[in-house]
Amino acid sequence: MSTKLKSYHLDKLIAFVGDDPDAIKNMVGIFLHTTPELLETINESYKQKQPEQMAKAAHSLKPTLDVFGVDSVYDVIRKIEQKAKNATLDDELAGLINTLNGVLETVFEQLKKAFVN
């Protein structure tokens, strides 16, 4: 996995809150606090076979990932939500969740490196 390329971009966030370093740092803090929780919910609800919970978490995660420019999972998160809504807990879903975990792990690391020091 390459860690040289950024897996996120903040263009949309900056467009939203303005070029205000404090505000951006604050938003990154909130992202790093809430996103792992939602990801955890998705993982757990797959294990526990609770598609409703998964659909909710995926739904919440969708706009957050858009704002943080995690574009590589744009389709992934939508598919996860759709499959959870249809209660299709199949292998493809497992694969999608796996991809999501991988990408977001990288994003968390990169963001921590860039902002939390």
Partner 1 sequence: MDAFRIFIVEDDMLYGEMLRHHLALNPDNEVHLYNNGEECLKNLYREPSMVSLDYSLPDMSGLDVMRRIKKEHPEIPVIIVSGQEDISTAVTLLREGAYDYFVKDDDVKDRLWNVIKKIRENLQLRSEISYLKEEIGRKYEFRNVIKGNSPSIKQIFSLIEKSIKTNISVSITGETGTGKELVAKAIHYNSNRAKKPFVAVNVSAVPRELIESEMFGHEKGSFTGATTRKIGKFEQAIGGTIFLDEVAEMDLNMQTKLLRVIQERELTRVGGNDLIKIDVRLIVATNRILSDEVKKGNFREDLYYRLLGLPIELPPLRYRGNDIILLAKYFVDEFCQENKMKKLSITESAQQKLMKYHFPGNVRELRAIIELAAVLTDTDKVDESHISFNSVDAAGNLLMEENTLAEYTRQIITYYLQKYNNNVLLVAKKLDIGKSTIYRMIKEKQIIT
Residues 38-67 that bind partner 1 (CB under 8 A): 56, 59-60, 62-64, 66-67
Query: Reduced to 3 states, what is the DSSP secondary structure of residue 68?
Result: coil
Looking at the Cβ atoms of 63 and 95, the one nearer to partner 1 is 63
71 contacts 6 by C-beta, under 8 angstroms: no
The distance in angstroms from the start CA to the end CA of the chain is 24
Separation of alpha carbons 23 and 41, rounded Å = 27
Residue 114 found at the interface with partner 1 (CB under 8 A):
no
Please choose, out of 24-32, 42-50, 97-105, 106-114, the segment that lies near partner 1 by the rule CB under 8 A.
24-32
Residues 64-83 that bind partner 1 (CB under 8 A): 64, 66-67
Looking at the Cβ atoms of 3 and 44, the one nearer to partner 1 is 44
Which residue from 21, 22, 30, 116 is spatially nearest to 68, judged by alpha carbons? 30
Please choose, out of 22-30, 43-51, 99-107, 109-117, the segment that lies near partner 1 by the rule CB under 8 A.
22-30
Tokens of 78: 């939508």
